[in-house]
Chain A
Amino acid sequence: MPVISLFAWMLVIAFLAFIACMFEDLESDIGSQSNPNSQIQLAPEMGYIHRYFNKAISGEGLSYALSCTIAGAIAMLMLLKLEPMLVAKGMSLGYAAVLAIPVGAAVGSLVHMVRASTCYVGREAAHKRFEQPIYLDVFYGHLLPIATHNFMAVICITAIAYIQSNLGLLSGVAGASNPFPLPLLCLIWGLTVGAIGSSTGDIHYGTERAFQDKPFGEGRRVVYHGQICRYGDCGIRTSKDVAAFCAKYGGPATGLTFGLIVLFENWRTVIGMLLGGLSVEGLANPAVAAAGGIGIGIVIAAVLTILNRMLEKWTRNKYGPFVGE
Chain B
Amino acid sequence: MIETLLLVLVCIIIGGILSSLAVHLMPVGGAPAAMATATGIATGCVMLMTGAAVTGLFTASTVASFWATNPSVILVALSGAVGAMLMMGFTMFVANLIYIFGAGVVPCSGRVAVDPITRESQTEYKTPRTDGHGVPTVSYVSGILGGFSGGFGGALIYVVLVSDSYAHFSVATAGIVAMGIFIANAIIAAYNIGGTIEGFHDPKFKARIRTGLTCALIVSVLCGVIVVIAMLTGTLVGGVM
Contact = CB atoms under 8 A, between A and B. Distances in A.
Contacts of A305: 89, 140-141, 144
Contacts of A315: 100, 106-107
B10 interface: no
A36 B37 CA distance: 12
A178 B61 contact: yes
A324 B89 CA distance: 32
B233 interface: no
- Tell me whether chain B's interface is mostly helix, strand or loop, or mixed: helix
Interface in A276-303: 276, 283, 286-287, 289-291, 293-294, 297-298, 300-301
Contact of B48 (A195, A206, A265, A324): A195
B137 A312 contact: yes
- Tell me whether chain A's interface is mostly helix, strand or loop, or mixed: helix
B42 interface: yes
Given A220-B35, A265-B55, A293-B79, A204 B87 contact: no
A136 interface: no
B34 A203 contact: yes
B97 A311 contact: yes
B184 interface: no
B92 interface: yes
B102 A203 contact: yes
Given A198-B47, A250-B98, A312 B66 contact: no
A184 B42 contact: no
B34 A300 contact: no
B191 interface: no
Interface in A224-278: 224-225, 249-250, 253-254, 256-257, 260-261, 264-265, 268-269, 273, 276
Given A35-B42, A59-B43, A301-B89, A222 B67 contact: no
A90 interface: no
A88 interface: no
B146 interface: no
Contacts of A256: 94
Interface string B55-97: 1011101111111000110011011001101110111111111
Nearest to B91: A199
A171 to B, nearest CB: 13
B127 interface: yes
A253 B59 CA distance: 23
A211 interface: yes
A223 B37 CA distance: 10
In the A-B complex, the 7 residue pairs with the closest CB atoms: A195-B51, A297-B82, A206-B34, A217-B104, A35-B34, A286-B66, A219-B36
Interface stretch (A1-9, A78-86, A147-155, A186-194): A186-194
Nearest to A299: B82
A172 interface: no
B52 interface: yes
Contacts of A297: 79, 82-83, 85-86
Interface of B: 30-31, 33-37, 41-44, 46-48, 50-52, 54-55, 57-59, 61-67, 71-72, 75-76, 78-79, 82-83, 85-87, 89-107, 118, 120, 124-130, 132-137, 140-141, 144, 171-172, 175-176, 241
A59 B118 CA distance: 34
B107 to A, nearest CB: 5
A128 interface: no
A321 B96 CA distance: 17
A294 B79 contact: yes
Given A180-B171, A312-B107, A301 B51 contact: no
7 contacts: A39-B35, A220-B35, A221-B37, A273-B66, A290-B79, A293-B79, A307-B93
A279 to B, nearest CB: 13
A217 B134 CA distance: 12
Contacts of B130: 218-222
A290 B72 contact: yes
A309 interface: yes
Nearest to A257: B94
B99 to A, nearest CB: 6
B125 A316 contact: yes
Interface in A200-217: 200-208, 210-211, 216-217
Contacts of A298: 82, 85
Nearest to B92: A308
A319 interface: yes
A289 B66 CA distance: 8
B97 to A, nearest CB: 6
Contacts of B65: 175, 178-179
A61 B47 contact: yes
